[in-house]
A and B are shown apart, each in its own frame.
Chain A
Amino acid sequence: MSELNNNNDSHKQQNDPHYWRSFEELQNDSGFKKIKENEFLEGVTKDFDPNTDINGVSRRKFLALLGASAALAGAGCSDYRDKGEIIPYNKQPEEVTLGLPNYYASTCTGCEQSCGILIKTREGRPIKVTGNPQHPVNKGKICSKGEASILNLYDPSRIQYPSKNSNGFLNEVLWTDADNAVISALLTAGSKEIALITNQITSPTFLKLISDFKTKYPTTRVYTVRQFNESVRKAAWEKCYPGSQVPLIQWDKAKVIVALEGDFLGKEGNLVENNRLFVQNRNVDDVKNFSRLYAVEGNFSLTGLNADHRFRLRPDKQTEFVLALTQYLVASKGVQLPGSLSSLASVISKFDLNKFCDENGISFNDISNMASDLVNNRGRSIIYAGSALSEKTHVAVNLLNEILGNTAVYNTASSAVELTQPSAFSEFETLVSSLNSGNVALVMTLDCNPVYNLPEDLGLKDALKKSGLFVSLTEQLNETASLSNYVLPINHNFESWGDAQTRTGVYSLMQPVIAPLYNTRQKESILLNWLKGDPKNYDERGYHNYLKENWAVSVFPKSMSLASFEKYWLGSLHDGYNLFNEAPVFKLTLNAVATESLTSIETDYQGFVVLITEGTATGDGKFAGNGWLQENPHPVSKVTWDNYAAVSYKTSKEFNLKTGDVLEIKSEKGALKIPALIQPGLADNFISIETGYGRSNSSVVANGVGYNANVLLSKSFTTSPWMFGSVAVSVTGEFRQIVSTQDHHAFEDEMIADQHLKRNIIREATVAQYMRDPHIIHHGGHELHTLYADHEYPEVKWAMSIDLNKCTGCGQCVVACNSENNIPIVGKDQVAAGREMQWIKIDRYYSGSPDNPSAKLQPMLCQHCDNAPCENVCPVAATTHSPDGLNQMVYNRCVGTRYCANNCPYKVRRYNFFNFREHFADGYQLSPSFELIANPEVTVRSRGVMEKCTFCIQRISDARMVAATENRKIKGDDVTTACQEACGTEAIVFGDMNDKESKISKLREHNLGYHLLEELNTRPNVTYIAKLTNTYSEEV
């Protein structure tokens, strides 16, 4: 290894980053060393204590034993030859072939983006969700929340019948009782207000229904709750370009992207589309056109993780930064202010970029390079400000984009459509005051949770009690519903009809793929029923007909279709969307008056600044009950099952903090106790908290996970609703364990002490280095010899490649794999013990200083080695090699010695220490509804067996079957693995490496392709494409 490092300078530079995965590793903590020496964490293997486990028989265990004995007795006496029954359909639906899946196009309701989805059903039961490949916006991909939304359908915590709240107890009632109560309240409302609080509506037909509702009940007022919205960006845009909507950005057209606290890859806008467009310029076969991403941010976001240059800056200083940058561009880089913006000259004259950089610890040289980049790429660059930044920052950014001619990067061919706008806090204040004065006859909440999502100081929670009648329409119990008089359960979107429009010229359709599992109704039908006022004659097809009629009247004529409406309707249902001609109207003429708002900017906050962001896993709290998402490690911190107050390394030293120490954060409005997490790369004197946690009155999974950061928010704010200063931070002395997956499964490499940081687990180079020397990552490579004969792979040989340039670390693959391969949720306690079961994980390596590290990502899964170390050590031959290059794991043979996991250098094997389905949340995953989610083509593993990535063997077998029916040989293209299908950036390629023309063969031979730990001669079948960083260099 040492000669290898001395080979040449460029190679030394390449090896320079000392990758560390946590502070314990960086500081060579003795505890961490111990962790690395041991395959499993302390105590992991010592769980079963016969003294306590047998004597302390719980009621549950007693019943289980009783049941087991009865079953055994029964089985002993039964007819051993009985093989059960086969019950055929009476009249089989025409489209069902037993054993083959059907796919239905529909629309996701996970967030306001309404992506097109494809739902895979088996014998009428939805088992998997993917993006609709033909959908024009999301093009076959969806985010992890969309993938996981199927879990919400089968969630045992769903409300199963309508109920009435009497003194805190929910008693089952008939739908007609609830309907009658509401209808009489509606009819007797008189001049009193009827308040309808809803989540943001994206359905044009539902909007029409609400307007019909308003016509019948004229005192109805609609309020829209969306906690994390684009209101600030929109207000700023309106100032700059009055009467025009905020355009979409064509990320693929931008050569230089500057993201200011803007997480467009992780949280803002249509992530699926943003990710896809962003990686267009991350193609290793076209390095000349690599884009360059600069991130200037306080938080460490997913976008920052992918940035080529990242600068730390507290979000409240962004306005000053943008203006100073503008000043620098004008004064030193020869950028001309357009005539209309001459007034800006006096505004920016007082700023000095050099001084600003000095004050804030940013390298002026690097920022100056960024400025040169922006100047050199005028009209091909974009500066993007995050939704949480102040209006003034957004105005300044809009102006700067205008000055640089970057308006060319805006998408003028299509734009986002928002049918309704989130209500401002002032509207809710009006509602609260009418509630308090007794002027509200009825409050309805539709699929939203205002009590949790809105600032407490609005006083909505108490005011709601003064409503004449309060009904909640919701899938699961939540903070709002538990206060209401009637809790009415609604359908999941897989059980509902609907439509959506979020893009110009695109209508999406939603269709039910399963009959309602419980006594629920879809919210639109309930409203339609109240509109008709005849609860006895409720028709569950009512909204279906309403939708169809609306399409016949308002959508069909726009489509210019020559077919009959019935055909058009069925065609649209089949496709899941419909296109028509609609162009957005843009007036991109700048209103120079906007500069006036910049004459004075916010003064700096003193002390700490707190930024509240949407939960990566939980959203605004809607997905808090989703175990797949809760257990999917956070893309940056790798924390599961918790939120935390992220603080910088320097701040942690000042407060003498370690991760898990509970802080008390007091804002003007509330106080919150929350554990701290030391996040490398965070701005100093800055705290970032994700919300969507700390739910109460919700499902068994959501309750008590994390802390509710919304208590810190206020209806009155100075810069943006999600950012505030003037907080008092104190250390409480309490401790709460924060569980992350990042220290687990560290690579064991003590034998070459201290070299382990240079083992080339991630290989990287800069674009400039690669262009000079295409073989840069392969210098000092190994010649591998073996004594054994090679395996023979006569037909196909499966292989995968993962492009580290395209992987943005979002975690969609993890959720897709959970769903496809029946991977159980294990819970926080088990993740703490290092027993997470996910077959694919995304490793994140930091390098550089803990103050401002750069980070690299690497998806890690079974490498399906040709010379697999796991195979040699299994005493019962439960893991063996197949002739198509797969490393097979046979559950029935496995006796659980765990030698294989011990001998695996990649640490990708997962052991079932428990029957996790039974173990997690008291058998939550054993509830009857939950069993429907399982993929019938994959074995459900039980306690005591090892498991790991199979390259989706069920899909390979299916492809073999199809090939046999078509009387041909199987081809590499026949198989798409679940992670590949889910990967929004197509970083994962799978195929047959024996086919020399295939994409995978070419990637295996690519100059940037490498195999992990290849010096061990394991010969992995997973190829990684080395990471190229497009750092600034003079010659570009």
Chain B
Amino acid sequence: MSNNFLDYLLRIRLPITVFVVLTSFAVTYFISRAERDGVGYTPDQPIAFSHALHAGQMGIDCQYCHTSVEKSRHASIPQVATCMNCHSIARKDRPEIIKLTNSYNSGKKLSWERIHKVPDYAYFSHASHVNKGIQCQSCHGNVELMDKVGQVNSFTMAACLDCHRNPEAKMPYLKSVNKGPDYCWACHR
């Protein structure tokens, strides 16, 4: 074995091999983290709205704001006017409420950061789930305890199917529950 060849092995082959192995490992690790599915994602919102205060402490029902959750696919983010039902009087002087009032009065858009998302090709319906008695918390976690909302559960197809196949285990609070559908066109079309 010539020195040249050893030199080549050590200087070129080895680093490349090590690099490829490390990169593959890093990429695989990175992709397969639960965080990659969005778990733990807690972005800053344009207005520091606290669910813990409104839904937890004051006990406002989820549907006071998320009005279409029983009727439609989308739970819907409340219109600014809904906030103003109370905040045209309540806590008008707080900086966050001033932001809200400004947006309401000027008609300028209020862009909330999206936290929970299923891909476009999955047609999830809130109404179908909520009307079967499934609680919001089963997917979204204890939002009423969160000052700043983040994603608690994974929103992958595996997570959906996990629940569809073992509803009794996942939602023990339901007295009688059927298995959810697990054929393709239940969600994709």
Question: Are the CB atoms of A85 and B121 closer together than 8 Å?
Answer: no
**Identity of the chain A residue whose Cβ is nearest the Cβ of B132 in the assembled complex:** A964
Question: Are the CB atoms of B72 and A954 closer together than 8 Å?
Answer: no
**Identity of the chain A residue whose Cβ is nearest the Cβ of B122 in the assembled complex:** A892
Question: Are the CB atoms of B184 and A890 closer together than 8 Å?
Answer: yes
One of A85, A891, A937, A960 near B111 (C-beta < 8 A)? A85
Stretch in A90-98, A358-366, A432-440 touching the partner: A90-98
Least CB distance from A201 to B in Å reads 40
Complex CA–CA separation, A80 to B31 (angstroms): 11
Stretch in B73-81, B88-96, B161-169 touching the partner: B73-81
| Chain B 155-189 near chain A by CB (<8 Å), digits 1 or 0 | 00000000000000000000000000101111011
One of B116, B186, B188 near A891 (C-beta < 8 A)? B188
**Identity of the chain A residue whose Cβ is nearest the Cβ of B183 in the assembled complex:** A882
- A-side contacts of B81, CB under 8 Å: 89-92
Once A83-B117, A87-B111, A97-B71 are accepted as A-B contacts, the answer to whether A888 and B185 lie under 8 Å apart by CB is: yes
**Identity of the chain A residue whose Cβ is nearest the Cβ of B104 in the assembled complex:** A90
Stretch in B11-19, B51-59, B123-131, B141-149 touching the partner: B123-131
One of B43, B68, B121 near A98 (C-beta < 8 A)? B68
Using a Cβ cutoff of 8 Å, how many contacts connect chains A and B? 123
Least CB distance from B164 to A in Å reads 13
Determine whether B25 belongs to the interface, using a CB cutoff of 8 Å to chain A: no
Least CB distance from B54 to A in Å reads 16
Which residues of chain A from 77 to 129 have a CB within 8 Å of any chain B CB?
80-92, 97-100
Question: Are the CB atoms of B189 and A965 closer together than 8 Å?
Answer: no
- B-side contacts of A84, CB under 8 Å: 114, 117
- A-side contacts of B110, CB under 8 Å: 87-88, 90
Question: Are the CB atoms of A87 and B128 closer together than 8 Å?
Answer: no
Complex CA–CA separation, A886 to B188 (angstroms): 13
**Identity of the chain B residue whose Cβ is nearest the Cβ of A966 in the assembled complex:** B131
Question: Are the CB atoms of A967 and B131 closer together than 8 Å?
Answer: yes
| Chain B 98-129 near chain A by CB (<8 Å), digits 1 or 0 | 00000110011111111111001101010110
One of B35, B80, B111, B188 near A89 (C-beta < 8 A)? B80
**Identity of the chain A residue whose Cβ is nearest the Cβ of B188 in the assembled complex:** A890
Most buried by B among A100, A937, A950: A100
Question: Are the CB atoms of B80 and A99 closer together than 8 Å?
Answer: no
Question: Are the CB atoms of A89 and B79 closer together than 8 Å?
Answer: yes
Determine whether A349 belongs to the interface, using a CB cutoff of 8 Å to chain B: no
Determine whether A880 belongs to the interface, using a CB cutoff of 8 Å to chain B: yes
Once A99-B68, A964-B127, A964-B128 are accepted as A-B contacts, the answer to whether A888 and B114 lie under 8 Å apart by CB is: no
Least CB distance from B62 to A in Å reads 15
Least CB distance from A1022 to B in Å reads 17
Question: Are the CB atoms of A99 and B184 closer together than 8 Å?
Answer: no
- B-side contacts of A892, CB under 8 Å: 121, 188
Determine whether A938 belongs to the interface, using a CB cutoff of 8 Å to chain B: yes
Question: Are the CB atoms of B68 and A880 closer together than 8 Å?
Answer: no
Least CB distance from A87 to B in Å reads 5
- B-side contacts of A98, CB under 8 Å: 68, 72, 74, 76
Which residues of chain B from 11 to 62 have a CB within 8 Å of any chain A CB?
35-36, 38, 41, 43
Complex CA–CA separation, A890 to B185 (angstroms): 8
- A-side contacts of B127, CB under 8 Å: 961, 964-965
Once A81-B41, A939-B121, A964-B127 are accepted as A-B contacts, the answer to whether A88 and B76 lie under 8 Å apart by CB is: yes
Majority SS at the chain A contact face = loop
- B-side contacts of A91, CB under 8 Å: 79-81
Question: Are the CB atoms of B185 and A950 closer together than 8 Å?
Answer: yes
- B-side contacts of A86, CB under 8 Å: 77, 111-114
**Identity of the chain B residue whose Cβ is nearest the Cβ of A821 in the assembled complex:** B189
**Identity of the chain B residue whose Cβ is nearest the Cβ of A81 in the assembled complex:** B41
- B-side contacts of A82, CB under 8 Å: 43, 113
Determine whether A883 belongs to the interface, using a CB cutoff of 8 Å to chain B: yes
Least CB distance from A893 to B in Å reads 8
Question: Are the CB atoms of A90 and B80 closer together than 8 Å?
Answer: yes
Complex CA–CA separation, A953 to B189 (angstroms): 7
Complex CA–CA separation, A892 to B121 (angstroms): 8
- A-side contacts of B183, CB under 8 Å: 880-883, 888
Complex CA–CA separation, A888 to B183 (angstroms): 9
Complex CA–CA separation, A886 to B114 (angstroms): 34
Complex CA–CA separation, A83 to B41 (angstroms): 10
- B-side contacts of A882, CB under 8 Å: 183-186
Complex CA–CA separation, A937 to B127 (angstroms): 15
Which residues of chain A from 868 to 899 have a CB within 8 Å of any chain B CB?
880-883, 886, 888, 890-892
- B-side contacts of A87, CB under 8 Å: 109-112
Question: Are the CB atoms of A97 and B68 closer together than 8 Å?
Answer: yes
Determine whether A69 belongs to the interface, using a CB cutoff of 8 Å to chain B: no
| Chain A 952-975 near chain B by CB (<8 Å), digits 1 or 0 | 011001001100110100000000
- A-side contacts of B181, CB under 8 Å: 883
Question: Are the CB atoms of B185 and A961 closer together than 8 Å?
Answer: no
**Identity of the chain B residue whose Cβ is nearest the Cβ of A882 in the assembled complex:** B183
- B-side contacts of A81, CB under 8 Å: 35, 38, 41, 43
**Identity of the chain B residue whose Cβ is nearest the Cβ of A938 in the assembled complex:** B189
Least CB distance from B143 to A in Å reads 15
Question: Are the CB atoms of B71 and A965 closer together than 8 Å?
Answer: yes
Question: Are the CB atoms of A954 and B189 closer together than 8 Å?
Answer: yes
Least CB distance from B167 to A in Å reads 14
Question: Are the CB atoms of B184 and A880 closer together than 8 Å?
Answer: yes
- A-side contacts of B36, CB under 8 Å: 80
| Chain A 1010-1036 near chain B by CB (<8 Å), digits 1 or 0 | 000000000000000000000000000
**Identity of the chain A residue whose Cβ is nearest the Cβ of B68 in the assembled complex:** A97
- B-side contacts of A888, CB under 8 Å: 183-185
- A-side contacts of B79, CB under 8 Å: 88-92
Most buried by B among A82, A883, A890, A938: A890
Least CB distance from A792 to B in Å reads 12
Question: Are the CB atoms of A957 and B80 closer together than 8 Å?
Answer: no
Complex CA–CA separation, A87 to B186 (angstroms): 28
Most buried by B among A99, A888, A890, A953: A99
**Identity of the chain A residue whose Cβ is nearest the Cβ of B83 in the assembled complex:** A88
- B-side contacts of A80, CB under 8 Å: 36
Complex CA–CA separation, A83 to B189 (angstroms): 22
Complex CA–CA separation, A92 to B110 (angstroms): 13
Once A87-B111, A888-B183, A938-B189 are accepted as A-B contacts, the answer to whether A960 and B128 lie under 8 Å apart by CB is: yes
Complex CA–CA separation, A961 to B187 (angstroms): 12
- B-side contacts of A88, CB under 8 Å: 76-80, 110, 112
Question: Are the CB atoms of A83 and B38 closer together than 8 Å?
Answer: yes
- A-side contacts of B71, CB under 8 Å: 97, 100, 965
- B-side contacts of A967, CB under 8 Å: 131
Which residues of chain A from 47 to 102 have a CB within 8 Å of any chain B CB?
80-92, 97-100
Least CB distance from A981 to B in Å reads 18
Least CB distance from B136 to A in Å reads 16
Complex CA–CA separation, A954 to B74 (angstroms): 15
Complex CA–CA separation, A100 to B126 (angstroms): 12
Least CB distance from B165 to A in Å reads 14
- B-side contacts of A964, CB under 8 Å: 127-128, 131-132
**Identity of the chain B residue whose Cβ is nearest the Cβ of A88 in the assembled complex:** B77
Least CB distance from B138 to A in Å reads 16
Complex CA–CA separation, A950 to B125 (angstroms): 19
Question: Are the CB atoms of B112 and A85 closer together than 8 Å?
Answer: yes
Least CB distance from B155 to A in Å reads 10
**Identity of the chain A residue whose Cβ is nearest the Cβ of B77 in the assembled complex:** A88
Question: Are the CB atoms of B189 and A99 closer together than 8 Å?
Answer: no
- B-side contacts of A938, CB under 8 Å: 189
A-B contact pairs, 23 of them (CB 8 A): A83-B114, A85-B111, A86-B112, A87-B110, A88-B80, A89-B79, A90-B79, A90-B109, A92-B79, A98-B68, A99-B68, A880-B183, A883-B181, A883-B183, A886-B185, A888-B183, A891-B121, A950-B189, A953-B189, A954-B189, A957-B123, A957-B189, A965-B70
| Known interface pairs A87-B111, A99-B72; 8 further A-B residue pairs with C-beta atoms within 8 A, sorted by A's residue number | A86-B111, A97-B67, A97-B71, A98-B72, A99-B73, A939-B121, A954-B123, A964-B132
Q: Which residues of B contact A (CB under 8 A)?
A: 35-36, 38, 41, 43, 67-68, 70-74, 76-81, 103-104, 107-117, 120-121, 123, 125, 127-128, 131-132, 181, 183-186, 188-189
